[in-house]
């Protein structure tokens, strides 16, 4: 079956690359000089269907120096400005459809896209390795002085962009009973910041829930972190792109005031525009450039209703290179990681967002995503009081407590996996505040555990390993800057053994990173300073690419780092070890690679041939059976 699938993929890829080989593609710069290029594909389709004065709500990106001029121009076209997102250099406006093309022709305008709908996707300490590094004791002066440090995210702000947070829930209280939800903002227009839907409270508790009841059974990853509640989904779990943009604009403006170092987005929308144009991706890049690590859920579209594997369904903003995009793994209720696998529903790469040239041909980004996976199946987390998800699906009740302030519920999806990574990022920042978003992303991938039988388009570098990432983060030099020469020592001591033990099982690290259309490996990734670890860089900035080749940029990456040549199905060893699944050259061209949701398999098979169960995942309004036989919560 796998051989047949590879043959089908190769035939499809070879036929679709013919367009690229014929040399019909103009450069991106040439295409962007065409006003039509500045209009997203779905908005262009609406322009073709509708004419005249009918109104639409759009997002306009403009050049940095033209804010005032843009407002004057918009007024002349009868546009009503809904939101001025100054930090993002964007406007959300309602305007007549017949004004779109005229605006696109103006030099000040960079890109116009519709205000698309947003939806939610949808015990951890031990299995992620967090508990083993939670408390550390060090000695000095020959053992005369001992210092104990607890890594719990204290002092770090995590922004949860979601459906709100029930700040009265017990999991969000500090030691003296005060809520750690330090600020709340509503971007839905409903003028409330609680969580009537129930998704955001659950997500927040995974990232930063405390251990103050149920004997600590449901401790979050960073249980002392501060939470910033940015509500973009309404009482029914729906939202709009402009809501998310407004929240990210707020983060850029007020992030330093509230100590925000991590943003979690367990929400998303289908990825249509190339990340170079997508306003969500552009906004995530701006937040990352400001030194804030952004976590995005991959999505829950990894299979058809019939249970067949589907590729190419990573959601926006998870298609943005600077984001840490997280898919969901299934732990089957055990702390040990030997039986972990990819959930059937977790969205697979490559990213299928695209740009369209002057001839109407679509050119796909085809980035390797997700970057990581984390436990996301049937996770117990906080239940907001009177929330819609639990009211409509009482079977999600975890039966932990009858008190509203202590009630817990089960949810599944990449929505639940993303805050595991968000909590881990907060711990890394607490351990080493000088870490940049790119370096945090590299550390998490380098120390991840590749799961045998899963390819890189399913798991990225592998399953998150908080134990390994924390031990490595504490060795990273604290004096790094953009002036640090490439090749300087990265660590303050020797690189530790590249393995971690959880519940008596030892596994090796990935010892590599996923970036753009390839992966990189080599000891120097974590022993020598790479320029791509600097602020305002992405890891992919270290690769020079054409439509047929790729190489390392010697000015940004040391020469002992090596690039892979194929998407690999892991054998459980380091990154790149295992049989080839797809040649990476197929991701570099502009043709259709894996199709928009093409089926390439017949379901995930684990163990001794038992097919993982079917079922829709909580998120974007759908809920049914959960994946597999995971009947017990993680302890």
Tokens of 126: 């031990």
pLDDT for the residue 442: 98
Residue 71 and residue 208 in one domain = no
Q: What are phi and psi of 529, to 5 degrees?
A: -75, 130
pLDDT at 73 (0 to 100):
86
151 and 110 within one domain: no
SS3 532: helix
Query: Are residue 72 and residue 137 in the same domain, yes or no?
Result: no
Which residue shows structure tokens 């298609």?
319
Q: What is the pTM of this model?
A: 0.86
Domain range for 77 = 34-115
pLDDT at residue number 455: 95
Looking at the structure, tell me whether residues 251 and 376 fall in a common domain.
yes
**Separation CA 566–CA 579 (nearest Å):** 9
Residue 10 to residue 556: CA distance in whole angstroms: 33
500 vs 421, 430, 442, CA distance in Å? 17, 21, 17
pLDDT of residue 631: 30
Total Cβ atoms within 10 A of residue 161 = 30
- Whether 320 and 308 map to the same domain: the answer is yes
Q: Which residue among 64, 86, 115 closes a domain? A: 115
CATH number at residue 46: 3.30.70.80
Nearest to 333 by CA among 341, 325, 322: 341
Closest CA to 461 of 418, 520, 419: 520
Torsion on CA atoms 86, 88, 92, 98, rounded to nearest 10: 110
- Tokens matching residue 195: 């969580």
Q: Residue 462 and residue 513: Cα distance in Å, rounded? A: 10
Bridge pairing between strands 293-297 and 324-330: parallel
The 3 state secondary structure assigned to 570-597 is: CCCCCCCCCCEEEECHHHHCCCCCCCCC
In a domain, 293, yes or no: yes
- Looking at the structure, tell me whether residues 143 and 53 fall in a common domain: no
The string of pLDDT tens digits covering residues 241-296 is 999 999 999 999 999 999 999 999 999 999 999 999 999 999 999 999 999 999 99
> DSSP assignment, residue 416?
H
If asked whether residues 66 and 132 sit together in one domain, one would say: no
**Is there a single domain that holds both residue 73 and residue 48?**
yes
Peptide bond into 350 cis (omega under 30): yes
| Helices and strands (H and E) in the chain: how many | 16, 33
- Angle between helical axes of 414-431 and 466-473 (0-180°, round to 10): 20
Residue 615, pLDDT score: 28
**What are the residues facing 475 on neighbouring strands?**
none
Which stretches of the chain drop beneath a pLDDT of 70? Answer: 1-33, 51-52, 120-127, 129, 131, 137-146, 213-217, 590-635
d(CA 341, CA 248): 33
Q: Is 335 contained in some domain? A: yes
Residues 180 and 324 in one domain: yes
pLDDT value, residue 603: 30
Domain end among 94, 115, 136: 115
453 contacts 309 by C-beta, under 8 angstroms: no
Query: Which token pair is 379?
Result: 């996770």
- The verdict on 133 and 98 lying in the same domain is no
578: DSSP letter = S
Domain with residue 397: its CATH number is 3.40.50.200
Q: How far is CA 495 from CA 137, 472, 478, 511, in A?
A: 20, 8, 16, 11
Please check whether residue 513 is in contact with residue 450, taking contact to mean a CB–CB distance below 8 angstroms.
no
Does a structural domain hold residue 243? Answer: yes
For residue 469, being part of any structural domain is answered with: yes
Name 502's Cβ contacts closer than 8 Å, sequence gap at least 6. 126, 127, 129, 132, 335, 336, 337, 467
Q: Which residue has the tokens 């996301």?
A: 376
Residue 85 φ then ψ, to 5° = -100, 80
95, 184: one domain: no
CA distance 416 to 584: 30
Q: What is the DSSP letter of 46?
A: H
Q: How crowded is residue 422: how many other Cβ atoms within 10 Å of its Cβ?
A: 34
Q: Judge whether 418 and 517 are in contact, CB under 8 Å.
A: no
Examine residue 620 and state whether it is found in any structural domain, yes or no: no
**Would you state the pLDDT for residue 368?**
96
Per-residue pLDDT of 551-578, as tens digits, reads 999 999 999 999 999 999 999 999 999 9
In a domain, 630, yes or no: no
In a domain, 68, yes or no: yes
User: Could you count the other beta carbons within 10 Å of the beta carbon of residue 49?
Assistant: 8
Q: What tokens does 377 get?
A: 């199946």
Q: What is the domain count for the chain? A: 2
317 within a domain of the structure (yes/no) = yes
DSSP sequence for 193-249: -S-SSSHHHHHHHHHH---SSGGGTT--SSTT-EEEEEE-S-TTSEEEHHHHHHHHH
The three-class DSSP label of residue 364 is: strand
Helix/strand/coil (H/E/C) assignment for every residue in 73-122 = HHHHCCCEEEEEEHHHCEEEEEEEHHHHHHHHCCCCEEEEEECCEEEECC
Same domain? For 105 and 239 the reply is no
Peptide bond into 317 cis (omega under 30): yes
Looking at 115, 140, 173, the residue that finishes a domain is: 115
């Amino acid at each position: 079956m796998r051989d047949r699938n590879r043959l089908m993929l190769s035939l499809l890829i070879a036929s679709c690359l013919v367009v690229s080989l014929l040399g019909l593609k103009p450069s991106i710069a040439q295409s962007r000089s065409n006003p039509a290029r500045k209009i997203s594909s779905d908005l262009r389709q609406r322009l073709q269907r509708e004419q005249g004065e009918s109104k639409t709500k759009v997002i306009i990106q403009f050049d940095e120096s033209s804010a005032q001029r843009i407002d004057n121009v918009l007024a002349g076209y009868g546009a009503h400005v809904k939101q001025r997102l100054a930090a993002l250099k964007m406007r959300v406006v309602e305007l007549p459809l017949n004004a779109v093309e005229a605006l696109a022709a103006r030099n000040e305008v960079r890109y116009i896209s519709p205000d698309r709908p947003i939806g939610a996707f949808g015990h951890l300490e031990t299995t992620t390795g967090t508990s083993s590094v939670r408390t550390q004791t060090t000695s000095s002066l020959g053992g005369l002085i001992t210092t104990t440090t607890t890594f719990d995210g204290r002092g770090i702000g995590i922004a949860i962009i979601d459906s709100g947070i029930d700040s009265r829930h017990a999991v969000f209280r500090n030691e003296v009973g005060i809520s750690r939800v330090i600020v709340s903002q509503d971007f839905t227009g409903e003028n409330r910041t609680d969580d009537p839907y129930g998704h955001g409270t659950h997500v927040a508790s995974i990232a930063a829930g405390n251990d103050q009841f149920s004997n600590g059974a449901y401790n979050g990853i960073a249980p002392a972190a501060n939470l910033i509640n940015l509500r973009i989904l309404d009482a029914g779990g729906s939202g709009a792109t402009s809501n998310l943009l407004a929240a990210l604009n707020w983060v850029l403006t007020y992030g330093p005031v509230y100590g925000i170092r991590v943003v979690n987005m367990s929400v998303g929308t289908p990825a249509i525009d190339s990340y170079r144009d997508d306003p969500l991706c552009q906004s995530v890049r701006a937040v990352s450039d400001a030194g804030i690590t952004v976590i995005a859920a991959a999505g829950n579209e990894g299979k058809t209703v019939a249970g067949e594997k589907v590729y190419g369904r990573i959601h926006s903003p998870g298609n943005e290179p600077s984001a840490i995009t997280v898919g969901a793994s299934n732990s089957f209720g055990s702390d040990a990681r030997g039986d972990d696998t990819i959930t059937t529903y977790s969205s697979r790469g490559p990213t299928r967002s695209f740009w369209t040239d002057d001839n109407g041909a679509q050119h796909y980004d085809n980035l390797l995503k997700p970057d990581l996976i984390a436990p996301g199946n049937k996770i117990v987390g906080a239940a907001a009081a009177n929330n819609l998800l639990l009211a409509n699906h009482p079977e999600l009740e975890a039966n932990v407590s009858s008190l509203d302030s202590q009630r817990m519920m089960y949810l599944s999806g990449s929505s639940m996996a993303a805050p595991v990574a968000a909590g881990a990022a907060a711990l890394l920042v607490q351990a080493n505040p000088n870490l940049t978003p790119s370096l945090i992303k590299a550390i998490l991938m380098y120390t991840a555990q590749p799961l045998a039988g899963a390819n890189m388009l399913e798991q990225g570098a592998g399953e998150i390993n908080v134990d390994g990432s924390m031990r490595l983060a504490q060795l990273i030099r604290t004096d790094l800057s953009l002036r640090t020469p490439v090749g300087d020592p990265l660590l303050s001591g020797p690189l530790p053994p590249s393995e971690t033990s959880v519940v008596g099982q030892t596994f090796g690290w990935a010892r590599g990173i996923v970036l753009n259309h390839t992966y990189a490996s080599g000891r120097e990734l974590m022993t020598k300073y790479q320029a791509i670890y600097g602020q305002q860089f992405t890891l992919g900035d270290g690769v020079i690419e054409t439509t047929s080749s790729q190489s390392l940029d010697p000015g940004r990456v040391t020469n002992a780092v090596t690039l892979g040549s194929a998407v690999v199905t892991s054998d459980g060893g380091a990154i790149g070890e295992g049989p080839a699944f797809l040649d990476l050259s197929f991701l570099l061209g502009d043709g259709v690679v894996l199709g928009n949701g093409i089926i390439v398999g017949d379901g995930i098979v684990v163990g001794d041939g038992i097919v993982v169960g079917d079922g829709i995942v909580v998120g974007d309004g759908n809920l049914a059976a959960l994946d597999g036989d995971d009947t017990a919560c993680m302890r």
